[in-house]
Structure 1
Amino acid sequence: MIKKEFKVILISLIVSFVLTGAKFGAYFVTHSVAILSDALESIINVVAGAFACYSIYLSSKPKDENHPYGHGKVEFFSIGFEGAMIFIAGCLILVKAISYFFSPHELHKVDSGIYIIAFTSVVNYVLGKYLVNQGKKIPSITLTGNGHHILTDAYSSIGLIVALLLIQFTGYTIIDPIASIIMAILILTKGYQLMRRSISGLMDETDMQVVDKIIALFSANRSPRMIDVHNMRVQQYGNNYHIDCHITMPYYLSLAETHDEISRLEKLVNEQLFSGEAEFFIHMDPCTPNGCEHCLVEACPVRQHPFERRIEWDRNNVLPNAKHNEATT
């Protein structure tokens, strides 16, 4: 799987390098500041691709004493680095576009620039879609992030083509820096989004969509002996996940019986939710008489209160560090 991920990002790196050269060729032919903006952003594709190659290599290394959760978090650093580079490129493009108003220059062979940029836009779109699809299939946040960045590059190139066509038919060269400024704003926005994604991953921000999937799977395969699940925490390390939670079960069960229940859940999550590895740390809590009201165990030998209602599991009662009877009293 890692070899495939590395192969995909290497293809992206080579294609991005060729397209960057083509865009700079278009700039030297036309002297368009908007085309230069597009070319500067493409440099980031090359730099980010190279860094992504290294991050994929590093994230594939096994766990060791210094990195007990593996090296997967480097992928968050990778997309943060890419986002920062994109943001810097956006700032440079903005400065270059504004300077045009103080020192305008004549454009040349705009039609040639249109053909070159149109070609790079099509190739980038195909490449971006390929990376996003592969990133979801593997899965890999590095490939997905790189793919979304390249798709943004393709879309901005389409906007650039529209601007060049307007210049070609109207002769208003002022459109050139205006288009460059719009592109710079879009690039700055994308850079911010990638940095935000990186920070959230490095700070272990909870992905609620993943939490909802885990809760739904637990609920669909709920054993009557699982009285409640609470204090759930989910952390992502590259393609792998670390899941903590507390599960309340009848106090009279043997260690072997509780272990079998936990093993069943681990197997379900790894087989049905993640193509990577989900590691569990589950703390077992013994039941108390207060939990009898929503305990699903029929003919419980130690029941002290009659069953009243089944409590459905959701974020409100699975995430807090409180048993269901404590959270609802």
Structure 2
Amino acid sequence: MRKTSNIAFLSVLSNSFVVLLKLVVGILTGSVAVISEAIHSSLDLLASLIAFISVKISGKPADSNHPFGHGKVENISGTIETLLIFVAGFWIIYECIHKLLNPEPIQLPFLAVLVMLVGAIINFIVSKIVKKEADRVNSMAMKSNAFHLLTDVYTSLGVAGGLLIVTLTGWHFLDPIIGIVISIYIMVEAVKLMKEAFPPLLDARLSIDEEKQVLSLIESFNNEYIEIHDFRTRRSGAQEYIDFHMVVSSHESIEKTHELCDRIEAEIINRFNNAQVLIHPEPESKSEN
């Protein structure tokens, strides 16, 4: 968990530097696209701070008040981050429309292009580091953070390319249009992220593919039990919760049934490292004898 927290903090540092760089250059050049990118990166910074805090909280062990742990903090974090994207998106569109109606020339355009490229490179490297760690620990907050950083890369490159076109053609109206396109893009991507972050807050099941994997692991032991039923799954942050009832022969001893449950649980956890598995064994009914 210390490694995860350190990587989450790395994104805070990188975003702080990129935001400051873009904001200063955006003000110097007067480019609404650059300023829009600075706002976008500011949200990335806020998202990184939220992710850093949520990772530390979600990593706390279960306690008397939170017997199922603190994993949903990450899903709350991811949901808040996507809402922030929408707020920024609408604000950027508003500013771009104002600039479109009142166009102004861009000062020091090549400096703006250089800053966009530097920001893109920094965030690309950090996003790959964060995504790798997010996949390793299956952290929703870290995945959201990595996504924020990667969208910043794409939008920064888009602004850089647009500013070059504006400089070469003198079409200053392109600057706010680029800002609007960026806003729409990040809001569309935010919808996708919301679909992943929000459902676990309502105890939504794991994906169909994940459930198939779990059932396949259970069925590999089907010669040792009669059937399973009441199969349920849900996700909370980085943890998967899996429970089901398993019918065994009424002639089996408690020790042997318990040992079977342990082996099934170990097999599932070997595939889903953060899984919490609960198996309720039941003896077969007399009518099945």
Normalising by structure 1, report the TM-score. Answer: 0.83
- Give me the whole-angstrom Cα distance separating, in 2, the residues matched to 1:249 and 1:107: 75
Task: Identify the match of residue 284 of structure 2 among 274, 287, 291.
Answer: 287
Report the Cα offset of residue 268 of structure 1. 1.3
Where do 1:156-305 residues align within 5 Å? 156-208=155-207, 209-219=209-219, 221-270=220-269, 272-276=270-274, 278-288=275-285, 302=289
| 1:115 maps to 2:114 | yes
- Give me the whole-angstrom Cα distance separating, in 2, the residues matched to 1:7 and 1:34: 32
Report the Cα offset of residue 122 of structure 1. 1.1
Report the Cα offset of residue 202 of structure 1. 0.5
Alpha carbons 2:75, 2:198 under 8 Å: kept: yes
Number of aligned residues:
288
- Give me the whole-angstrom Cα distance separating, in 2, the residues matched to 1:152 and 1:232: 38
- Give me the whole-angstrom Cα distance separating, in 1, the residues matched to 2:246 and 2:193: 36
Letter in 2 for 1:265: I
Alpha carbons 1:139, 1:275 under 8 Å: kept: no
Report the Cα offset of residue 192 of structure 1. 2.4
Letter in 1 for 2:278: F
| 1:66 maps to 2:83 | no
Q: Cα RMSD (Å) of the superposition?
A: 1.6
**Alignment correspondent of 2:92:** 93
Alpha carbons 1:29, 1:108 under 8 Å: kept: yes
Alpha carbons 2:203, 2:236 under 8 Å: kept: no
Report the Cα offset of residue 162 of structure 1. 1.4
Alpha carbons 1:227, 1:249 under 8 Å: kept: yes
Deviation string for 1:148-194 (max 9, x for gaps)? 11101101111111111111111101111111110010121122233
**For structure 2, which runs of at least 5 residues remain unmatched after alignment?**
none
- Give me the whole-angstrom Cα distance separating, in 1, the residues matched to 2:103 and 2:167: 17
- Give me the whole-angstrom Cα distance separating, in 2, the residues matched to 1:214 and 1:164: 50
**Alignment correspondent of 1:31:** 30
- Give me the whole-angstrom Cα distance separating, in 2, the residues matched to 1:282 and 1:231: 10
SS in 1 for 2:181: helix
Report the Cα offset of residue 287 of structure 1. 2.8
| 1:142 maps to 2:141 | yes
- Give me the whole-angstrom Cα distance separating, in 2, the residues matched to 1:223 and 1:184: 52
Alpha carbons 1:133, 1:144 under 8 Å: kept: no
Report the Cα offset of residue 260 of structure 1. 1.2
Report the Cα offset of residue 289 of structure 1. 7.5
SS in 1 for 2:198: helix
Alpha carbons 1:251, 1:287 under 8 Å: kept: yes
Report the Cα offset of residue 290 of structure 1. 7.3
SS in 1 for 2:278: strand
Letter in 1 for 2:71: G
Q: Tell me whether 11-20 or 232-241 shows the greater mean CA deviation.
A: 232-241
Alpha carbons 1:33, 1:177 under 8 Å: kept: yes
SS in 1 for 2:158: helix
Letter in 2 for 1:117: M
Alpha carbons 1:149, 1:190 under 8 Å: kept: no
Report the Cα offset of residue 72 of structure 1. 0.9
Alpha carbons 1:83, 1:193 under 8 Å: kept: no
**Alignment correspondent of 1:325:** none
Higher-Rg structure is 1
- Give me the whole-angstrom Cα distance separating, in 2, the residues matched to 1:42 and 1:204: 31
Report the Cα offset of residue 282 of structure 1. 1.8
**For structure 1, which runs of at least 5 residues remain unmatched after alignment?**
292-301, 303-329
Deviation string for 1:75-115 (max 9, x for gaps)? 00011111111111111111111111222222111111101
Deviation string for 1:272-306 (max 9, x for gaps)? 21232x22222223335776xxxxxxxxxx5xxxx
Report the Cα offset of residue 216 of structure 1. 2.0
- Give me the whole-angstrom Cα distance separating, in 1, the residues matched to 2:66 and 2:81: 24
Normalising by structure 2, report the TM-score. Answer: 0.94
Q: Tell me whether 5-14 or 55-64 shows the greater mean CA deviation.
A: 55-64
SS in 2 for 1:187: helix
Alpha carbons 1:63, 1:71 under 8 Å: kept: yes
% of aligned pairs identical?
27
Letter in 1 for 2:282: D
- Give me the whole-angstrom Cα distance separating, in 1, the residues matched to 2:256 and 2:5: 42
Letter in 2 for 1:185: I
